[in-house]
Amino acid sequence: MPRRPSTHVDDPLAVGRRLREARNAAGLTQRQLSFEGCTAAYVSRIEAGARVPSLQILREFAKRLDVSTDYLATGSKAEGPSSDLLEAEVALQLGDERRATELYEAARAEADSPASLARAQLGLGRLALRRGELPQGIGLLEEALDSGELAPGDASAAANALGRSYATQSRFEEAFALFERFLDEARRRGDHFEQVRFALLLANAYIDHGEFGRAQATLGEVLDQARQMIDPMFRASLYWSQSRVHLEQGEPDRAAEYAQLAIATLDEGEQTLAAARALLLLAFIENDRGDPQAALELVDEGEPIVVAAGETTDAAMFTIERARALSALGEGEEAVTLLLGIVPRLNAAAPRDAARAYSTIADVFRRQGEAARALELYELAVEQAPTANRYVAEALTAMAEIYEEQGDAQKALELLKQALAARSGATA
């Protein structure tokens, strides 16, 4: 009986890389590889790692390129995983997390090889992270990676998820070490795509930790590589990270230049959702530089895209920038109306982003004379921030000013001391 093809689809960047290599080896253009229901533009997005292809599309590619579906999907030319793992991965792709959990648990219990066990741990770790169970997810991903049994694409995806989770819990040294390890391995293999990928992950971790010099050095190392790559997502991510560095260092003009480069690069590659996120960053920058009208125009352009895509956290961030711009233009009541009920939508935001968002919302309420509500939100900003940063310092300073206005000089002095310490930590 012939073996069923694998139903697991690997990390999108790895799938895209294998597809691009197989297409080039076959001497086909993206247009020649396309077919009804899969345009040349969609082939381009798959190769960029911006889309996860269905198994039906992968099977059609495999026929046209004279390779196996398993190879395109997982990079494997050997026997596939157990039926429980296959079904679990299908359930995970379809969003049936309950069924996927049951099947991964069964696969873990019945694993007949270290590789099958590691793959089950990886699946369970991803599911735990989706549920917000960070300690459990981290533990499972650590076990899977430490086994040394994961295929290269799976190991890369596990390192990505694990390093981001470390950073979320402020375990930055572990995040740095993991990303540096995979960056070094990519250098040794001469894998330029993985080098850029893990350099970007490492640089963003440095940015979140406030180490802008190390972030700049890491980005500089891969700048020329990324520019030379056909893949627009890599170049856009690089520009975006550069924009973040300059923004955090108080250089909004340079930040805006890099954000605009990211948008232009993404537009070239038809990566509209990623372009919308770059527009969000640029709207924030324009508000920061005191140009609310420009910020509103950027919000009007980008917000409908993330709303249509169901990206609730990004949509909330656009609402905040809209309210911030309106408040600066003297439309304070409309700004407050927009922000009512926005706080629960920030639960899924990264801690640093949440801190910035809460502080921004607090600023709007404070301008409207709602000091008590502003204090609550500034306190949320301080609680959310994983490390000392400018948003913590600004929130603490604003709280001190409110308490001083209310006649509580002692409380104001305590908060100003905390703000000074936070600002020193952010610039250390």
CA 288 vs. chain centroid, Å, equals: 22
CATH topology of 12-74 equal to that of 94-169?
no
The pLDDT of residue 179 is: 95
CA neighbours closer than 13 Å in the CB half-sphere of residue 405 = 12
Q: What is the pLDDT of residue 86?
A: 67
At 213-238, the pLDDT tens digits run 888 788 777 766 655 554 666 677 77
- 250 exposed, middle or buried (CB, 10 Å; 0-12, 13-18, 19+)? exposed
Q: What is the pLDDT at residue 405?
A: 92
Assigned fold of 94-169: 1.25.40
> 79 Cβ partners below 8 Å, 6+ apart?
3
> Does 130 score more than 80 pLDDT?
yes
Q: What CA dihedral angle connects 390, 395, 400 and 404, to 10 degrees? A: 130
Q: What is the pTM of this model?
A: 0.51
Q: Alpha-carbon dihedral of residues 327, 329, 330, 335, nearest 10 degrees?
A: -30
Q: List pLDDT tens digits, range 261-320.
A: 777 776 655 556 667 777 887 888 888 889 999 999 989 988 988 887 777 888 998 999
The CA distance from 395 to 365, in Å, is 13
Q: What is the pLDDT of residues 402-417, one digit of tens each?
A: 999 999 999 999 999 8
| DSSP-assigned beta bridge partners for residue 35 | 38
Q: Give the lowest-confidence range in 93-97, 174-178, 337-341.
A: 93-97
Over the stretch 70-96, which tens digit does the pLDDT of each residue have? Answer: 778 777 654 445 556 767 776 776 667
Task: Scan for tokens 């970007």, then name that residue.
Answer: 200
Is the pLDDT at 381 greater than 70? The verdict is: yes
Q: For the domain 170-270, what is the CATH superfamily, name and number?
A: Tetratricopeptide repeat domain (1.25.40.10)
**Amino acid identity for residue 154 in this structure:** D
Lowest mean pLDDT among 88-97, 112-121, 176-185, 292-301: 88-97
Place of tokens 């079904």: 87
Tell me which DSSP letter residue 171 carries. Answer: -
Q: Would you list the domain boundaries of the chain?
A: 12-74, 94-169, 170-270
Burial 8-43 (b: 16+ CB within 10 A, else e): bbbbbbbbbbbbbebbeeeeeebeebbeeebeeebb
Average pLDDT over residues 342-370: 82
CA 404 to the chain's CA centroid: 39
Angle at 50 between CA 61 and CA 137, to 5 degrees: 110
Fold designation for 12-74: 434 Repressor (Amino-terminal Domain) (1.10.260)
The pair of structure tokens assigned to 285 is: 């920058």
